[in-house]
Structure 1
Amino acid sequence: MSDMTVTEARARLADVVDAARVAHEPVFLTRRGRRVAAVIDADDLDRLIEAAEDLADIEAARAARVEMVESGEGPIPWEQVKADLGLA
């Protein structure tokens, strides 16, 4: 049940939700033969969002390291950061 039309999904909504929840596989909804949406288990979606956020954080850290190297500046020592913020 990986692909079905929106019309069919509307008629069988409970089955679609159960299939996505139990099988942990998305059910793709189609319109005119093209995928337009997907129904997935809520816990699976939470894990996907968390993984995407982690990946974005990793990419931002990589970009920051590249920027430091390209600018010729090194990391700021923690003691200096605390002093600059008035925490030391």
Structure 2
Amino acid sequence: MTTLTASDAREHFADLLEKARHTGERTIITRRGRKLAAVVPVEDLELLEELEDRVDLAAVREALKERDKAVSYEEFRKTLGLGEK
């Protein structure tokens, strides 16, 4: 993985895109020594998005399992010792 400053990345942007597309190279862009962004192949982005979707789906499935344990707002307040409104 390559690391470039923002100004170097700007200067060589077309090359960065071609390297990402043809060789799969990932490039970290920095500004003042801090990581700012990355140029990655589209396939990497698509994989990341698919993984995020899977994590989200797993969270939804887990939440659906928990819905039978739902309590009313009033019951929740009582469990916190807040009494009735």
TM over 0.5: yes
Unmatched 5+ stretches in structure 2? 71-85
Ranges of 4+ aligned residues in structure 1 off by more than 2 Å = 18-26
How many residue pairs were aligned?
71
Please show how residues 13-52 of structure 1 align to structure 2 within 5 Å: 13-52=13-52
The residue that corresponds to 1:60 in the other structure is: 60
Given the two structures, how large is their TM-score scaled by the length of structure 1? 0.67
Unmatched 5+ stretches in structure 1? 72-88
SS in 2 for 1:3: strand
State the percentage of identical aligned residues.
31
Given the two structures, how large is their TM-score scaled by the length of structure 2? 0.69
Query: In the TM superposition, what whole-angstrom CA distance separates every residue of 1:12-63 from its partner, at most 9, and x where no partner exists?
Result: 1122112323343421100000011111111221221122112101111112
CA RMSD in angstroms comes to 2.0
**Native 8 Å contact 1:25 1:40 kept in 2:** yes
